[in-house]
Every structure is written in structure tokens, then in C-alpha cells.
Amino acid sequence: MTARVQNASLLRDGPGVAVPAVELGSRPGDQPDGLQAKLPVERLALDFRYLTSDAYLKLSPRDAVRPFAAILHGNVAASGKGWPEVRSRLRPLDAPDHIEVLVTTSAVDHDTERGFELAITDELLFGACRVEGIRGAGVAEAAETVYRGLLGLIERRGYPCLLRMWNILEDINGQQDGLERYRHFCRGRHEAFAAVQPGTVDCPPAACGIGAEEGGLCVYFLAARDPGLPVENPRQISAYRYPQRYGPRSPSFSRGLLNRFDDGAHFFLSGTASITGHESRHHGCISAQVEESLRNVTALIRAAQERSGQALDLASPTTTLRAYLRAEDHYAVAREIVERHLGSKVKVLYLRADICRRELLFEIDGQVFMPSIQP
């Protein structure tokens, strides 16, 4: 087990006795509703919150639980308050906009380097970058340049361990020089890992690789000082070992990755679709694809618990997921199945997106957060 728990004494005052709880963000009028911390923790290294734009625009870098980066889905005005704001170029299916905010109680620094906007805490480095002008060609080169840049940057800044990558590629299923653009992307990404961080080739971070209608290549990441624990799914071949028929270089991602800080355990769930072994299942059937994807998620979470000894509750209110749908009119049926399986406490964003294999209609990813002190 490579993940670690630091300063457990910060959270516990003797066996099983919680220190007096500080209800973060509980001063009246201080925090918008969506950010009210329900968790009685003194320190929060990282949490994900889903907010409406009204609540988002009230956030301040001086909040006790403060944003350190935000992902804007839909037509949201940027806040311009200093933290990185990434436009996903993905459209929410149930509202005009949704904002995903990464929050922390740690002090946050911001910087830029080589086209990356950075947010830096004691525990984490967040970075985001976009390369445009790759409509006709150059996807592999763009991916390799971005990944070489970020791998160099995380080394130099002392956060060499990638935990989670998010990759959003314009026209992901389009063809370029007789090869699908996603496969060009996988080639460039693989070349960068092989050249700069070869140890990561069969121990990659959790990730998602999805398609947008515009926006070139958008890559953002979370990196840490020490490695997390990558976890594979017994129902699926590791993506980094996919056979050549899926492209000249395999996709560099682990099915999931578990990380522990003193605030609790974060399980990063990679993009999970209707694939068993290495083959896509249930061509053309949205309900069967959603069911198969959820069976994969369940199997992966079980594997993660067995490998780490860490309890993980997928159906917990601290879980935040994103469901990607290729076709807008599959939204109602997909949501009904997701809620039937996970209950209604889990927060799920539904987004219109392309999936990296043409026949796939659905993919789901996100985070399962198990706080050290239960609410």
C-alpha cells in the first residue's frame, strides 16, 4: 500500500475520539449554500462540489473551504477570482450550466508555466492546459507536447505523481491520416510517458478520455508528492494492455486510483463504459450499456476495497460522478437506471459528450470520497 495517512493526530484525539468539530463554512451568510461543509473536519485537502452559477459566483479565495480550481460546464460566466477555470465545452443535459469546484482548506498558490494554469497546495498540484488549432491534423503531436510539458512540470515542482488526468478532445471519433483522432491522442500521450516517466507506462494515473464538439485538446490533472494506489478491474483487461486493434499505442490510464490524505481517502474512478475484456458490449442499446458500465463500476470499487482495505461507499452523499451521453435523447433512460442503482443521494452531472469508441453511448467517471471523520 503506497498511499498514506499523514497527521492522523490532527483529526483524532485518542482512539476513536473526534477532536471538537469545527463546522467549516458554518458562519451565517459566509458561504453559499452549495459550499456549506457538512463534514466536521478541521482540514480538507481536497473535495469536489457541484454548484449552480449563482452559488459559484459568490465564492471567495478567503472562504474557509476555498476553491482551488473549477470546471465550467455549459454557458457560465468565469468568476475571474484567480483560481484556474476550465471550460469543458460539454453541455449539461439537465440544466443550462453546472460548475464543479475543487475545494480545500489548505493555502493555495496560483502560477502559470508552459501554457498550464496551476493551483498549488501543500498536498496537491492542479494544472490545466488547452491546445487549439488541431482540427485538421496534429493531435498526436499536441498530446505528446502537452504530456511532456506536464510531466516535466510536476517533477520540477515536487509533485511527480499523477493521480488523475482529464482529457477532452475535439472530434474524438474523427479520422486523421486514416487513424481515429483518439488513437492519435493515445499515441502522443504514450510517447510522452515512455520518454519522460517510463515507470508510469504500466502504472498510469486514473483518467477519462472524452470528446467535445470544439475546444481542441483540453487536459487537466491532479498530481501529488507521493503515489496513490492504481486499481484494475477484474472484468476488464487493463487499458494499457489493450490489443493493437484499438490503436498503435494503448490508452495510458488505470481503471481507478486510491489516494489518502489526512482528510480521508479519495478513490478516483476513471471513465468506465460498457466494455468487458477489451470488447465493447451491447452495441446500439443504451439501457444495457448503462447497466454494464455500472457493473464495471461496482466490480472496480470492490477490487479497490480488497486491494487497499479501505471501505468505499459508492452510494454516499460525498460521491461525485459525471455521466457522459453520446445522444441527448438517452438522458432520461440513463438517469433512471443510474438512480435505480446508486440511489438519489449520489451527485451525478449528466453531460453531452462523445465517447472514445464510436459504438459506446455512455461512460461514467468521478470520485468517491471517504472522509476520515464521518458526518
Which are the catalytic amino acids? Answer: 363
- Give whole-number Cα distances, 234 to 1, 59, 163, 314, in Å: 19, 41, 21, 18
Answer yes or no: are the C-beta atoms of 218 and 88 closer than 8 Å: yes
Answer yes or no: are the C-beta atoms of 120 and 157 closer than 8 Å: yes
Pure H helices in the chain: 53-57, 139-156, 181-196, 286-308, 331-342
* DSSP collapsed to 3 states, 157-194: CCCCEEEEEEEEEECCCCEECCEEHHHHHHHHHHHHHH
DSSP string, 36-77: ---S--S--S-EEEEE-HHHHHT--TTSSSEEEEEEEEESPP
Of 167 and 289, which has the nearer Cβ to ligand 3EB? 167
Binding residues for ligand 3EB (CB under 6 A): 167, 207-209, 239, 251, 253, 270-271, 273, 275, 356
Closest CA to 134 of 89, 95, 181: 181
Of 193 and 253, which has the nearer Cβ to ligand 3EB? 253
Of 42 and 202, which has the nearer Cβ to ligand 3EB? 202
Of 37 and 275, which has the nearer Cβ to ligand 3EB? 275
Of 18 and 237, which has the nearer Cβ to ligand 3EB? 237
Of 79 and 293, which has the nearer Cβ to ligand 3EB? 293
| Minimal distance, residue 329 CB to ligand 3EB, in Å | 22
| Minimal distance, residue 64 CB to ligand 3EB, in Å | 34
| Minimal distance, residue 251 CB to ligand 3EB, in Å | 4
| Minimal distance, residue 300 CB to ligand 3EB, in Å | 11
| Minimal distance, residue 100 CB to ligand 3EB, in Å | 17
| Minimal distance, residue 366 CB to ligand 3EB, in Å | 12
Q: Return the number of other C-beta atoms located less than 10 Å from residue 270's C-beta.
A: 28
Residue 370, strand partner residues: 265
Instruction: Report the C-alpha gap between 67 and 49 in whole angstroms.
Output: 9
Closest CA to 295 of 275, 279, 317: 275
Q: Is 147 helix (H, G, I), strand (E, B) or coil?
A: helix
Q: Return the number of other C-beta atoms located less than 10 Å from residue 155's C-beta.
A: 14
